[in-house]
């Protein structure tokens, strides 16, 4: 059973969905280090470094102050 959400929580989720409806294909989201990182693509693809990790040089902004975890289920 899912927890009930407050009106404010539902509105926050709705705002996120609307923002991502307009999110450009040239950017993508990577969550790591407790931050939501906004990454730039190159030729429509995620850019990797020589070690096979996502290239941090392509991080164009980050959002902190929000609980964020990039782990898998």
The confidence band for 33, taking pLDDT boundaries of 50, 70 and 90, is confident
The confidence band for 73, taking pLDDT boundaries of 50, 70 and 90, is low
The answer to whether position 32 is within a domain reads: yes
Instruction: Quote the number of domains for the chain.
Output: 1
The answer to whether position 73 is within a domain reads: yes
Strands (E), the chain: 27-32, 35-40, 59-63
pTM for the model:
0.81
pLDDT at 62: 95
The answer to whether position 4 is within a domain reads: no
Over residues 36-40, mean pLDDT: 95
CA distance readout (Å), 12 to 5, 15, 53, 65 = 10, 5, 31, 15
Where in the sequence is the domain holding 28, given as residue range(s)?
A: 24-73
Which of the residue ranges 11-15, 40-44, 60-64, 69-73 would you say has the lowest mean pLDDT?
69-73
Whether 13 contacts 7, CB under 8 Å: no
């Amino acid at each position: 059973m899912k927890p009930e959400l407050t009106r404010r929580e539902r509105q926050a989720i709705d705002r996120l969905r609307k923002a991502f409806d307009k999110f450009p294909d040239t950017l993508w989201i990577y969550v790591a280090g407790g931050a939501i990182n906004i990454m730039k693509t190159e030729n429509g693809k995620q850019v990797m470094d020589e070690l096979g990790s996502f290239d941090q040089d392509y991080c164009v902004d980050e959002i902190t102050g929000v609980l964020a975890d990039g782990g898998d289920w």
